[in-house]
Structure 1
Amino acid sequence: MTITDPSADTAASTEQTFDVLVEFLGRLMTTAEVDALDSLFNTEISFSHFRTLMVLAGRGRALSVNELGEALHLSVAATGRNVDKLVGLGLVDRREDSHDRRIKRVSLTDEGHTVVNAHLDSKEEQFRHFVGRLPAELRTNLYDALHSIVSGDYLSESDPVFAHRHHQKVD
């Protein structure tokens, strides 16, 4: 990908901004994800199981097996097998719905939250490391730009996993 640099006299086009944003996010996320996923290789958790944990964390509430399957784009049978494995590992809890005993609700256990938070903490540490390497003026410019975007009405909704962690830290 070739990233063009608009001159100081012209505003960056949507396409130029898109290109540099994709390049930036790709590099940042790849670095953070590689380190964060290293911890998964030493566990019995597959990527499918980990996706299940992340969906449950992101929703912040117990889901029925059907709801969970829809969110994961898996069949009810495949979702049930994922849940069985995660229950066996002590990472999720499966209970009857209080209003309809035919429905099973799945939620993270404390240990499940610990696994998800360890993964997110690893990513956040990589982000902190990146920000810490920036010169002060560039860091301030990045803060100003991102703060304006986050506090404005430019994003349709926040990432549910990070929103979950924010609420968790505040409580």
Structure 2
Amino acid sequence: MDVAAEVDLADVFDTFIGILHKGCDADVLDVFVSMDLTLTQVRVVFMLAMHGSELPINVVAERLNVSVATAGRTVDRLVTLGMVDRREDPDDRRSKLVSLTAEGRRLADTQREGMRERIRTFSRALPADVADGLREAVAAAIAATPEHLRAGAACSPDQVRTSS
């Protein structure tokens, strides 16, 4: 793919994603602001939700590109707010494992469901032939995406192809 086509594709995706996110982000951010959460705290909640299981604090720090001390303070605040649990790693007592509580999961799920509803609304508004073409193109793009870039995706390329 030449550079001009790559830029054009990036611009198209940027516009497309902007349309899908329109309105969703503001609603979700309002919830976080009302809870007085920092951006780093929000990132921890979403990272744990996407990962789906507990993570050591040092991995949280690595993924957020912050120090272990910063990650630890962030987790401490989230524990106080009832958003995450922290426990000792049974295999390494020096390490702490972090996972979402039911409240943290509810918050992440609320954001995700708001986005899904926005996508459903967008999809229903498309003419059938455009929706079919978009489904096929996106399924092909997902199938062509290297596995390391798809890690943590909600569904497989086969699920996209068979979904309606």
Scaled to the shorter chain, the TM-score interval is 0.7 to 0.9
Of the three residues 130, 145, 148, the one matched with 1:154 is 145
Contact 1:95 1:105 in 2 (8 A): yes
Alignment of 1:33 onto 2:28: no
User: Structure 1 residues 161 and 96 mapped into 2: Cα distance closer, same or farther (>3 Å)?
Assistant: farther
In structure 2, what is the Cα distance between the partners aligned to 1:70 and 1:96? 19
Partner of 1:53: 45
Superposed, which structure 2 residues align to 1:1-171 within 5 Å? 13-150=5-142, 152-156=143-147, 157-158=149-150, 160=152, 162=154
User: Structure 1 residues 44 and 14 mapped into 2: Cα distance closer, same or farther (>3 Å)?
Assistant: closer
Query: So what's the TM-score if we normalise by structure 2?
Result: 0.79
| Unpaired runs of at least 5, structure 2 | 160-164
| Unpaired runs of at least 5, structure 1 | 1-11, 167-171
In structure 2, what is the Cα distance between the partners aligned to 1:65 and 1:48? 13
Post-superposition shift, 1:159? 5.2
Query: So what's the TM-score if we normalise by structure 1?
Result: 0.76
Post-superposition shift, 1:155? 4.3
User: Structure 1 residues 48 and 15 mapped into 2: Cα distance closer, same or farther (>3 Å)?
Assistant: closer
Post-superposition shift, 1:69? 0.9
Partner of 2:162: none
Counterpart secondary structure, 1:160: coil
Contact 1:69 1:79 in 2 (8 A): yes
Partner of 1:6: none
Partner of 1:8: none
Which structure's CA Rg is the greater one?
1
In structure 2, what is the Cα distance between the partners aligned to 1:135 and 1:144? 14
Comparing 154-163 and 103-112, the one that deviates more: 154-163
Greater RCO between the two (CA within 8 Å, min separation 6)? 1
Counterpart code for 2:103 = E
Report how many residues are paired.
152
* 1:105-134 deviation per Cα after TM superposition (whole angstroms, max 9, x unaligned): 111112211111111111111111111211
User: Structure 1 residues 62 and 85 mapped into 2: Cα distance closer, same or farther (>3 Å)?
Assistant: same
* 1:65-116 deviation per Cα after TM superposition (whole angstroms, max 9, x unaligned): 2111111111122111111111111111111110221111111112211111
